[in-house]
Chains A and B, each alone.
Chain A
Amino acid sequence: MTLALDTRTTSRDPAVTPRGDALISIIGLSKHFHVKLGAFGQTAAEVHALDDFTLDIRRGETLSLVGESGCGKSTAGFTMLQIHKPSAGQVIYGGVDLAQLSEDRLRPYRRKLQVVFQDPYSTLNPRMTVGEAIAEPLLFHGQATRGNITEKVATLLGDVGLSPRFAMRYPHELSGGQRQRVVIARALACGPEFLVCDEAISALDVSVQAQIINLFQDLQERYGLTYLFIAHDLAVVRHISDRVAVMYLGRPAELGPKRAIFSAPLHPYTKALLSAVPEPDPARERSRKRQVLSGDVPSPLDPPPGCRFHTRCPLAVERCRREVPAWREMAPDHFVACHRVGEAIPVPDAA
């Protein structure tokens, strides 16, 4: 791990060696969107969707990105995959900075870096059969020939727990859970190493979610996949992750091993987020103390100066309004961006 807020963005050499066991190293990644505001688009503005994001994704792990809508978690995933061109920063994979590559030179890497989106209804072409949808990337990347394609598709369908008959069906004939299985099969088609799952189970029925979560875990064991799991459901994140990164308004707030994040969170935002999650046990739900945050997330068009959380933070002091907090390692592998963490104040502990 590097100490983040590391601004080595001046390096323009695309050949960089990744550190240690990192599959992908993200250094100082930023994405700003230019938008036009006003009824006639007369005002130009900049959305700070992602700022100065530094992170290593380790081979074989499941790293979850959590945060509320608009915190930049999906932008982070898309920018890593070069679906959005980064405004600044590096994404180092296989010794190459992907941010420097042209679309043509990126193509071989796309095979290895795949994505599963939230909505299985809109990601499948309604006029293509399931078999055609899965075959398309295989043929495009030259991973199969017309001769062995049927067999390959059947194997992939088997991997995601569907029978080969499904190859003949159209998306509208399938349920949400089956569609999501097809989308996963398509993402796996070219033998990826890294899969971004962007709210991949959020649109599914509660009784089907568990099946897909189990499927993701089985596939990871079988193929040694590395996952970036973008989600807002913290209970699911606790179940599936090895490490968790919490984001707030385009910046990372905390990163650590799952157990540390859930049992000993450091950042006041992480604590508030965890305390907002409802509990299924009614007795526990009634008795627990909730730390309800007041107000809303500020607009990313004009993010607050200093620590972006200071407008809602119960611990905010003058310094938080002025200075962006540094990314500090408070315990092995457990990072936080907060001025107040580690100060000699009693940390309220949830019993």
Chain B
Amino acid sequence: MTDPLLSVRDLAVEVSTRRGPARVVDGVSFHIGRGEALGVVGESGCGKSITTLALLGLLPPGARVAGGSARMEGKDLLTLSRRALREVRGGRIGMIFQDPMTSFNPVLKIGDQLIEPLIYHRGMLRREAWARAGELLRLVGIPGGASRLDNYPHELSGGMRQRVMIAMGLACEPPLLIADEPTTALDVTIQAQIVDLVKDLRARLGMSIIWITHDLALVSGLVDRVIVLYAGKIVEEAPVDDLYARPTHPYTQGLLASLPTLEGEETRRLPAIGGTPPDPGRRPAGCPFAPRCPLRVARCESEMPPLVAVAGGPHRAACWVNAKPQELAA
């Protein structure tokens, strides 16, 4: 990748707890190319949302960036002033959050909320912005288009609200769109509509996408590359087809094996991963997956394995057993 749009190095985020600071994101590095779609997969508490909130300077109180850098368009997002960050948010990075219910101001018409970024970032006049907002609603497939600008959020269904949210995220045509579980609160038929919409918008507008989800199946047809997070660390990173065909980290393997599917053989018992993910405050010293791992060796409990290339390709995994770091010179 010659010129990544966003390049994150060794990001660390700490949250203060009663037992002292807990590292919820620990040494996360990834990049995303122009026009690329990246899936970030992991279960609740693995740090997938916190990672992107840190990039946007939106960490909740009590959480702080403890190290690392995030370069985008010649700037380090982690050191920007609040004013400069405001330019980035909405202007250079669009955001879609999980809950379209709480992400809107309930007492403002959706039109008034849609024109806000256009006026702020683009310096448009109200009338101009209103016309553009109508176009945006048509772009995201809201029946009636501009006529819905006068609606209040409660007058729209969940799926429609999520479409408006996407329109808002895309209002200033940002080169990067971050979607944080945007379909989790929606029904499957509506979820399929939203995934298709984002796929279609990406083909037309060519923006980069980071799609955060706990459901690997959801993004399998949408993203190019996937990173798998477990307990604040990247355990595997691979092109999506590779990840599915040759999952290398025991966690990814277990996760894929334990998902029931609509096709294929029916088995009586699901091959489940034992145990539960570790508490952010009490993560094991070595590999965070070691206590649940069927392949665990002594070294796993004391030392975190580095992410190393598997089969020489862009596929990387962090495992002492399945991804032997012998080719690593340094």
Contacts and interface: CB of A to CB of B under 8 A. Distances in A.
Contacts of B258: 206-207, 209-210
Interface in B222-245: 240-241, 244
Interface in A192-209: 205-209
Contacts, number: 134
Interface string A254-292: 000000001000000000111111111111111000101
Contacts of A232: 187-188
Contacts of A315: none
Interface stretch (B118-126, B169-177, B271-279): B271-279
B3 interface: no
Given A282-B244, A296-B160, A205 B259 contact: no
B188 A206 contact: no
Nearest to B271: A210
Interface string B262-280: 1100111111111011000
B315 to A, nearest CB: 14
Given A205-B43, A217-B268, A292-B192, A286 B187 contact: no
A276 B191 contact: yes
B188 A68 contact: yes
A268 B277 CA distance: 40
A208 B251 CA distance: 12
A177 interface: yes
B221 interface: yes
Query: For A209, A262, A274, A282, which residue has the most chain B Cβ atoms within 10 angstroms?
Result: A282
B259 A211 contact: no
Given A276-B188, A278-B195, A205 B277 contact: yes
A64 to B, nearest CB: 12
A280 B259 contact: yes
Dominant secondary structure at the A interface = helix
Contacts of A293: 189, 193
A277 B247 CA distance: 22
A217 B269 contact: yes
A175 interface: yes
Contact of A278 (B157, B221, B254): B221
Interface string B98-122: 0000000000000000000000000
A282 B240 contact: yes
A178 B276 contact: yes
Contacts of A297: 157, 187
B217 interface: yes
B270 A214 contact: yes
B23 interface: no
Contacts of B269: 214, 217
A55 B128 CA distance: 57
Nearest to B242: A282
A262 B260 CA distance: 13
B189 A205 contact: no
A213 B270 contact: yes
A270 B263 CA distance: 16
Contacts of B255: 206-207
Nearest to B197: A292
A175 B269 CA distance: 23
Contacts of A262: 262
B187 A279 contact: no
B81 interface: no
Given A217-B268, A278-B217, A286-B221, A236 B192 contact: no
A122 B303 CA distance: 38
B310 interface: no
28 contacts: A68-B188, A176-B276, A205-B44, A206-B214, A207-B273, A207-B276, A208-B276, A210-B259, A210-B260, A213-B260, A214-B272, A234-B262, A235-B262, A236-B260, A238-B266, A239-B260, A272-B189, A276-B192, A277-B188, A277-B217, A278-B218, A279-B221, A279-B261, A290-B196, A292-B189, A295-B143, A296-B159, A297-B187
Interface of B: 43-44, 143, 157, 159-160, 187-193, 195-196, 214-218, 220-221, 240-241, 244, 251, 254-256, 258-263, 266-274, 276-277, 292
8 tightest A-B contacts by CB?
Answer: A285-B221, A210-B272, A239-B260, A68-B187, A210-B258, A276-B192, A210-B270, A205-B43
